[in-house]
Amino acid sequence: MHTRLLILASIAVGCLYLFYYQEFLNKSKERTAALGLPRKIWQTWETPPHGLNEELMRLSKSWIDLNPDHRYELLTNGSSVTYVRERFNHRQDIVDVFERTTDRILRADLTRYLTLLGDGGVYTDIDTDCSKPIQEWIPDQLHDKVGLVLGVEYDSQGGEIRKDFNLPVQLCQWTIMAAPGHHVLQTVVETVVSKLSTDQVNLESIPSHDLQYVLETTGPRMFTVAVLESLTSQLGRTVTYEEISNLTAPKLIA
């Protein structure tokens, strides 16, 4: 097995790509290798598509219109529970934590990680606009080498860190492209499930609509740290923030 990571300046300030497969799901090794980066788009919302307002409908449609060869699926509160129960029926701990997580933001974050780990494809928030076909995100010479695409949401570029961030570089998790069973997503899911499981036992209640708790438990802060820890583990060397900072062109880390 090998790990390949590519950082691009495309989706946001920059973009991160990683290639690594691990058998996390039952009998997933052959399935994962065959699929690569599936042509599938995931979004989540509380209600079915007819419940979207005009602006969200327009934004959602941009992903469908620019990517006609991709399967599109909108998971609602109800269908996300069904998905997790069926896809992760071999991991009752994941199902239990998901069902006990009632805060909509925490659950939405966990949903995106689980859908990408389970089936792969592109997850993107419902309020994002697709301005470039997904097939054009990755340079042609790297299409067969990339297994994860991540944007850089914030980069201090070696300077003072903004007050609303506490990391020198923060990765974006509102749009993610991944192969199913990807090792980084496995690390992210295990990190989130472990934290939520512990807090569900030790706290009287999980903080609801607490921004700091979300950022550090399921949000971009946790995500960024987990990604770098996963890369460090797989590459056998310390992967630092400097490696994903000051991007001006695509970068592959392998």
pLDDT tens across 153-202, in order?
999 988 888 988 889 999 999 999 999 999 999 999 999 999 999 999 88
Distances (CA, A) of 22 to 81, 160, 180: 24, 37, 9
Annotate 103-123 with b (16+ C-beta within 10 A) or e (fewer). Answer: bebbbbbbbbbbbbbbbbbbb
**Which residues neighbour 184 within 8 Å (Cβ) at sequence distance 6 or greater?**
18, 20, 148, 178, 226, 227, 230, 231
State pTM to two decimals. Answer: 0.87
Q: Is the pLDDT of residue 134 over 80?
A: yes
What pLDDT sits at residue 25?
44
What is the mean predicted confidence (pLDDT) over 129-158?
A: 88
What pLDDT sits at residue 94?
98
pLDDT one-digit tens code per residue, 111-120: 999 999 999 9
Q: Is the pLDDT of residue 17 over 80?
A: no
6 pLDDT tier (thresholds 50, 70, 90): very low
172 contacts 109 by C-beta, under 8 angstroms? no
CA 7-249-178 angle, 5° bins:
25
For the chain, report the end-to-end CA distance as a whole number of angstroms: 12
What pLDDT sits at residue 50?
79
Residue spans of the domains in the chain: they are 36-243
Count CB neighbours of 153 within 10 A.
Answer: 21
Segment holding 75, helix H or strand E: strand 71-75
Strands 169-178 and 40-44: what pairing?
Answer: unpaired
Q: Is the pLDDT of residue 216 over 80?
A: yes
What is the mean predicted confidence (pLDDT) over 94-102?
A: 96
Closest CA to 33 of 41, 25, 21, 19: 21
145 pLDDT tier (thresholds 50, 70, 90): confident
What pLDDT sits at residue 249?
72
29 pLDDT tier (thresholds 50, 70, 90): very low
What pLDDT sits at residue 89?
96
What is the mean predicted confidence (pLDDT) over 213-234?
A: 94
Q: Is 36-243 CATH 1.10.150.120? A: no
Secondary structure of residue 17 in the 3-state scheme: strand
Q: Is the pLDDT of residue 10 over 60?
A: no
Q: Is the pLDDT of residue 213 over 80?
A: yes
Distances (CA, A) of 243 to 18, 104, 113, 143, 239: 13, 33, 23, 21, 7
Q: What is the dihedral of CA 41, 42, 47, 50, to 10 degrees?
A: 0
